[in-house]
């Protein structure tokens, strides 16, 4: 086996060359790669022995250091020569691309800088406040409909969407549960926002002048008893959102109409607050989910929640078996919701003796307190899959663990 001699030509191959850009500068740290190979099980390198190879590398390194020192003294930014070869290009390590890390692939749940976040409503809506709480310093993008917010993320107009799914007084927002199934976005987080309602009207308007109150249906329901206690014998009309109601009153100069909305909406649209904190219960909280095009990587270092939806061809009799899969593994459920099965709302069962039975078919949504990174959650869903004809994980995401603070003014 013939050894390679340390000629200038072969020494040039000891470096991994890459062209320098016109803005590149030589730095003390250089990417140097030695070439070696295995031939018939024996090492073949520069020189006839390992000692020769090490000696050659040491000589070469000393020449590089010498060239660097000469360059620094003369102020010359380009490397004049290395071992007599003027065409050799060396790449500073700082200019090499850095490898991706798990942080690049899975941003922290609260990361919100420079994000565009879609929400339903107009500025001043509670959804806008939820978007700001979920993603501080984000660019909030108002959408007139819930489905538009879903589409904004799917079409890359927005990076995230923050949408309500349930309220502690009004219950579930069924429309968004249906849209979660229709679209392919993933739940990547949740945020719970205390709701503080105010009765707003144009400046100078008194309560006895009012003929109607407008707001979102949920807001009207959450303030029903308080409005009666205020002696307001007025018509109550539903609109798309709370802040939109405030904007409507201001834009149309309606002196006989009040709106139920936030204190921020009053500031934005120049309205006065006739009554503050008019929700029937101070424990009025709306839960929002954060949606993205890609799921986050589940973790076990903090409390996680997982949301799923499932159905079965044989009706609701499978529900007990599904619940048992979680109970057996000591997994707590925080939410269970049923929605009509859109593709097959009714199942017919014929009985020759009795007749035809008509059963309503449902999709079931469940939230449980466990991360998909946990073995018990994986085993539970494996068992659930045996009982169901359809199963989809909507997301596994960090729980909102912020301290509880009753509703109060902003």
When computed from its CA atoms, the radius of gyration of the chain, rounded to whole angstroms, is 33
Annotation says 320 is catalytic: no
Query: Beta strand pairing status for 116-120 and 139-143?
Result: parallel
Q: Which of 15, 146, 150, 288 is catalytic?
A: 288
- Concatenating the DSSP letter of every residue in 90-116 gives --BGGGSPPPP-HHHHS--TT--TT-E
Reply yes or no on whether 288 is catalytic.
yes
Q: CA-CA distance, 139 to 118, in Å (whole number)?
A: 9
Name residue, tokens 């204190």: 263
Whether residue 274 contacts residue 260, with contact meaning beta carbons closer than 8 Å, is answered with no
Helices assigned H by DSSP within 183-318:
217-222, 224-229, 242-251, 263-269
Q: What is the 3-state secondary structure (H, E, C) of 226-243?
A: HHHHCCCCCEEEECCCHH
Sole residue written with tokens 């003294």 = 73
Which of these is catalytic: 226, 286, 306, 388? 286
Q: Which residues contact 236 (CB under 8 A, 6 or more apart)?
A: 212, 213, 214, 220, 227
- Name the DSSP letter for residue 332: P
Active site residues per annotation: 286, 288
């Amino acid at each position: 086996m013939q050894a390679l001699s340390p000629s200038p030509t072969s020494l040039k191959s000891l470096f991994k060359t890459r062209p320098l850009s016109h803005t590149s500068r030589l730095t003390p740290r250089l990417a140097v790669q030695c070439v070696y190979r295995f031939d018939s099980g024996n090492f073949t390198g520069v020189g006839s022995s390992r000692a020769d190879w090490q000696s050659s590398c040491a000589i070469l390194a000393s020449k590089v250091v010498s060239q660097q020192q000469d360059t620094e003294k003369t102020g010359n930014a380009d490397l004049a020569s290395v071992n007599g070869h003027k065409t050799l290009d060396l790449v500073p390590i700082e200019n090499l691309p850095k490898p991706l890390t798990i942080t690049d692939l899975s941003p922290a749940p609260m990361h919100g800088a420079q994000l565009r976040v879609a929400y339903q409503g107009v500025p001043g809506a509670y959804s806008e406040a939820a978007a700001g709480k979920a993603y501080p310093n984000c660019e909030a993008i108002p959408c007139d409909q819930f489905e538009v917010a879903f589409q904004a993320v799917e079409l890359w107009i927005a990076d995230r969407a923050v949408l309500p799914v349930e309220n502690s007084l009004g219950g579930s927002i069924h429309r968004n549960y249906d849209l979660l199934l229709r679209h392919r976005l993933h739940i990547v987080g949740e945020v719970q926002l205390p709701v503080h309602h105010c009765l707003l009207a144009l400046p100078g308007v008194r309560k006895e002048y009012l003929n109607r109150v407008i707001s979102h249906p949920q807001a009207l329901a959450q303030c029903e008893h308080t409005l009666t206690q205020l002696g307001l014998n007025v018509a109550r009309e539903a609109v798309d959102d709370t802040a939109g109601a405030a904007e409507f009153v201001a834009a149309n100069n309606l002196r006989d109409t009040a709106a139920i909305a936030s204190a921020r909406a009053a500031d934005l649209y120049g309205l006065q607050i006739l009554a503050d904190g008019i929700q029937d219960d101070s424990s009025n909280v709306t839960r929002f989910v954060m949606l993205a095009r890609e799921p986050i990587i589940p973790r076990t270092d903090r409390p996680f929640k997982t949301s799923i939806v499932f159905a079965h061809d044989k009706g609701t009799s499978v529900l007990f078996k599904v619940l048992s899969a979680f109970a057996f593994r000591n997994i707590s459920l925080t939410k269970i919701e049923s929605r009509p099965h859109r593709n097959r709302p009714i199942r017919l069962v014929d009985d020759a003796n009795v007749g035809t039975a008509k059963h309503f078919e449902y999709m079931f949504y469940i939230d449980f307190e466990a991360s998909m990174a946990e073995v018990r959650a994986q085993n539970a869903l494996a068992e659930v899959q045996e009982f169901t004809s359809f199963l989809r994980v909507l997301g596994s995401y960090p729980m909102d663990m912020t301290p509880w603070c009753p509703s109060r003014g902003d």
